[in-house]
Amino acid sequence: MIVIKKESPFKIVFVCLGNICRSPTAEGIFQHLVNERGLQSYFYIDSAGTSAYHIGEPANSKSRQTAKERGIELKSRARRFEGEDLGEFDMIIAMDHENLENIKAFDKSGSFEDKIFMLRAYDPSPGDGEVPDPYYGGMEGFQNVFDIVKRSCENLLDELEGKIEN
């Protein structure tokens, strides 16, 4: 059972492949929503990629532009998801099935499976359950991903906010 307390922030990591499009968008949106609700002291938010293609790079320029147009700044730098993240984070949220499987591959014992989720499990219109990779979809692809991620993050935060213990 999840209980969120101010003394020990609830740690969430959003995970995609390269950590330059979908997961930094989710991190930025979720952080923005947390800030809007004044819940910063209850959450630690991060993002990562299951590949090492873009380590140290900022979010994709189209992701940053789409977010900026909607009042959100994407500040993260790409990093790779590591096995230690399984124990470090309270909730690990994958953007698609491939990355879900990549995350689960780190969990050899299966002892962390109860903290690994798909983001679109929180989407009222989950489609195929995946946040699509916007990389080859032009600006429309990035805008679509932003919309999917925003509504999913809003529902996720609604659920988690109900677990805050004052």
In tens, the pLDDT along 98-132 reads: 999 999 999 999 899 999 999 999 999 999 999 99
Contacts of 48 (CB under 8 A, 6+ apart): 13, 14, 15, 19, 23, 79, 80, 81, 82, 85
The full set of domain ranges for the chain reads 14-161
C-alpha count within 13 angstroms, C-beta hemisphere, residue 161 = 15
Among candidate residues 44, 5, 32, 15, the one with its CA nearest the CA of residue 150? 32
Q: What is the pLDDT of residue 135?
A: 85
| Residue 111: per-residue pLDDT | 93
Per annotation, catalytic residue among 22, 64, 79, 120: 22
Find the catalytic residue in 16, 46, 120, 123: 16
The beta strand positions in the chain, using DSSP E, are: 10-16, 43-49, 91-94, 116-118
Residue 144: exposed, middle, or buried by beta-carbon count in 10 A (0-12, 13-18, 19+)?
A: middle
The answer to whether residue 64 is catalytic is no
Active site residue 147: no
d(CA 100, CA 128): 14
- Residue ranges in the chain whose pLDDT is less than 50: none
Residue 79 annotated in active site: no
* CATH number for the segment(s) 14-161: 3.40.50.2300
Tell me the whole-structure pTM to 2 decimals: 0.97
Return the DSSP state at 4: B
> Which of 77, 80, 90, 133 does the annotation list as catalytic?
133
